[in-house]
């Protein structure tokens, strides 16, 4: 795998950024825009996914990076649950729900694969904290 020198190069971060953009766009109008609690929680969860990926990438160790990726994955799960609430409350149509849900699942899957890769790298003993760029 190629060496990644910036978190912006990670595909999971790119998907999380698009996910956040879509969550903001969908919650900007209609009934969802007036449900301040759900709207804000959905936005925070989406932002948390991309923020935890970037914070983890910039952290001191690969083990800490894996921890932050786990938090990002947790936020993705939270957002999936909130999408169900928005669908059930008829704030989102099925097409918007399906599009955003698929994007969240794709990001979550990418996070799982990256976490597995990093755990294998840590277990191999090849970790040199602070000196080696993360591989993804």
Give the single-character DSSP code of 9.
Answer: G
Does residue 80 sit within a domain?
Answer: yes
Instruction: Tell me the torsion sign for CA atoms 44, 49, 53, 54.
Output: negative
Q: How far apart are CA 110 and CA 71, in angstroms?
A: 14
Answer yes or no: is 21 within a domain. yes
- Per-residue pLDDT tens listing for the chain (136 residues): 568 899 999 999 999 999 999 999 999 999 999 999 999 999 999 999 999 999 999 998 999 999 999 999 999 999 999 999 999 999 999 999 999 999 999 999 999 999 999 999 887 655 444 444 444 4
The domain in which residue 22 lies consists of: 7-123
Query: In angstroms, rounded to a whole number, what is the distance separating the alpha carbons of residues 45 and 50?
Result: 9
Write the CATH number for 95. Answer: 1.20.1440.60
Indicate whether this model's pTM tops 0.85.
Answer: yes
Residue 134 lies inside a defined structural domain of this protein: no
Describe the crossing of helices 36-57 and 11-26 by its angle, rounded to 10 degrees: 160
Give the number of domains in the chain: 1
Q: For residue 56, how many C-alpha atoms fall within 13 Å in the half-sphere facing its CB?
A: 27
């Amino acid at each position: 795998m190629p060496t990644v020198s910036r978190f912006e190069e990670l595909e999971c971060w790119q998907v999380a950024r698009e996910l956040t953009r879509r969550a903001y766009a969908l919650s900007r109008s209609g009934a969802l825009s007036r449900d301040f609690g759900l709207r804000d929680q959905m936005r925070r969860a989406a932002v948390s996914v991309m923020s935890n990926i970037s914070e983890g990438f910039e952290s001191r160790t690969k083990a800490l990076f894996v921890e932050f990726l786990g938090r990002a994955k947790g936020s993705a799960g939270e957002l999936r649950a909130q999408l169900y609430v928005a669908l059930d409350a008829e704030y989102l149509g099925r097409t918007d729900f399906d599009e955003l849900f698929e994007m969240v699942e794709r990001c979550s899957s990418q996070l799982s694969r990256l976490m597995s890769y990093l755990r294998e790298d840590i277990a191999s003993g090849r970790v040199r904290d602070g000196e080696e760029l993360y591989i993804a």
